[in-house]
Structure 1
């Protein structure tokens, strides 16, 4: 049974007599129902993806969607003659969404029943309910981050990127260089905090400790000149990746304490975590400080441990560890590195602040490529 307490991540639309008035192959001319364009745009602004499962001629229907000016809002449309449950299953698999986060709207009770029978976790709505969808709690996320508002754009860029990689015949590193990647590391602001909290909560494979930092805790760190809350975003020639990483580091005179490094699994293949670590190591070397990183092994973060080890961190004891407060996290290790200057990355352009500037005077941070 569908769970209405879970926020919808993707709404799948039928077309005839649902999205538009009339049957395309019979009437020829169709138009959007009143309020549908506004609903599509509103859900898109809330970070809810939208797709199509329609029994129609693909080329004819897609041309009509373009003519109506709404085609750009739909990802992975399935327009053909297959059962709609199969179309929705395929869309969910390609998006890597659980069925319980999918929703379907159709004017035909038989089509709703077919989907409900094969995919009982998918929420089904009739065309008569379209006008009220935006008011339902499942279509109202608690928070809408900047990345959420760009979610469709990021997914569409990802599809183009994957297609280009499938066609690329050279080494992986050459493909990465061909992307014209740019990584930007910047001090987090209040506007970033919802996404930063989300990264600490949802990132598991590339999360050094698995510790969740609440929005309130992060806000407190912003006001503490000893701590730096840094957010990493990436983009390439296909479009934005959005905010993909968070760094929490306390920059003392002799020791820099890396409390958390977490990056999205979406950018693991680009070596994002290693680039961030090399940059931070270089910054600590410029400051003449030891670098100590918190690490706690979880069931899924083996890749992060490897990244730390490849960057030169070891578990060897160091007198500098005595200057740090005792940890209160079970299983936490403190890894140590004596930093040396690092060369800039060769696979992407890095824009990052100078952490060796006076703590707290963040307007003086200098961006450098």
Structure 2
């Protein structure tokens, strides 16, 4: 498997200053500021790659947002913090709103003092001067390994997620009741050729909800598709707000007395819906029906503590069992967690459609 430890972390959101960065001129001095075609091209291209755009600008909010509408660009921005406060506070708020690690967020501004202020308070944020804007699509941190259908829809999915979260914040009843009101439908399917690009993307982009942090390349996944002893499964999610797209990947290797759960990774934006727990419950139920044990790979990273909690809560533990002798050595700091599964009740907050793996 290729070594990707030196590959730059992909930028998930680019936060733009406005005056003399996104557009030419200062809005409060000239309300006819214009956006160069080259900057428009950058916005459109990065959006197609699945990079989100946001705004942090010291400006009059209503005037600035109205100008973005007039320029036909407002819909490209999933969040905006326009006012007179510190840029670092605005950048931090946007990262928190989107639930992104700060190391996956970038900031572009024409003022060196503003970039320095952000870098001082948020050292993991990557900052770029405005004159480099047209270079960004050529940089590796803005270039995902592949473009998928979900990449092109990522903006609209995040915008729907913000509306969903706003409704959730206003909901007065129990959280489980709100989740049931969404009409969540989780669909698990065996991956096809058309799913490989998105499956690979999930192994690269997902950090918090990734059990190993191991990147599986396009070639790796295609090889597993044709291996009769492996299951490559993708999970998609939808609700009354629309489709979340493909949000999870599960890799399982079959052995005589055990199933080896080599990878479970789900998109961080669906973390609050309990998708990881639902998938672990379904896999446990399938393994119990097949009368095999489960052995899950887990490798600690600086971001995936929540996955360890999910495995432990599902009953996985470090335990010597003869079934582990069927597996090749883990290596690469991989821990092997064991579970003797029992039948599971279906989830109560979502509808689950999934294949039978016991045949």
Compute the TM-score of the two structures, normalised by the length of structure 1: 0.76
Deviates more, 1:346-355 or 1:114-123: 114-123
Change (3 A) 1:220 1:44: same
Q: 1:262 corresponds to which residue?
A: 264
Q: 1:365 corresponds to which residue?
A: none
**Does 2:218 correspond to 1:212?**
no
Query: Does the CA contact (< 8 Å) of 1:203 and 1:262 recur in 2?
Result: no
By how many angstroms is 1:71 displaced? Answer: 0.7
RMSD over aligned CA atoms reads: 3.5
How far apart, CA to CA, are the structure 2 residues paired with 1:11 and 1:269? 24
Q: 1:345 corresponds to which residue?
A: 347
Number of equivalent positions: 338
Query: Does the CA contact (< 8 Å) of 2:108 and 2:133 recur in 1?
Result: no
The within-5 A match list for 1:91-106 is: 91-95=94-98, 96-98=100-102, 101-106=105-110
By how many angstroms is 1:295 displaced? Answer: 2.9
1:309 alignment partner, one of 301, 310, 315: 315
By how many angstroms is 1:335 displaced? Answer: 2.5
Q: 2:80 corresponds to which residue?
A: 77
Query: Does the CA contact (< 8 Å) of 1:8 and 1:103 recur in 2?
Result: no
Query: Does the CA contact (< 8 Å) of 2:150 and 2:245 recur in 1?
Result: yes
Q: 1:157 corresponds to which residue?
A: 160
Which ranges in structure 2 are unaligned for 5 or more consecutive residues? 1-6
Query: Does the CA contact (< 8 Å) of 1:281 and 1:291 recur in 2?
Result: no
The one-character-per-residue Cα deviations of 1:211-260 (angstroms, maximum 9, x if unpaired) are 736323322210012321101122323344443322223457x7561423
Q: 1:64 corresponds to which residue?
A: 67
Q: 2:275 corresponds to which residue?
A: 272
Which ranges in structure 1 are unaligned for 5 or more consecutive residues? 358-369
Compute the TM-score of the two structures, normalised by the length of structure 2: 0.78
The one-character-per-residue Cα deviations of 1:9-50 (angstroms, maximum 9, x if unpaired) are 332223234333444334333443223323211111122221
How far apart, CA to CA, are the structure 2 residues paired with 1:170 and 1:226? 45
Query: Does the CA contact (< 8 Å) of 2:236 and 2:247 recur in 1?
Result: yes
Structure with bigger gyration radius: 1
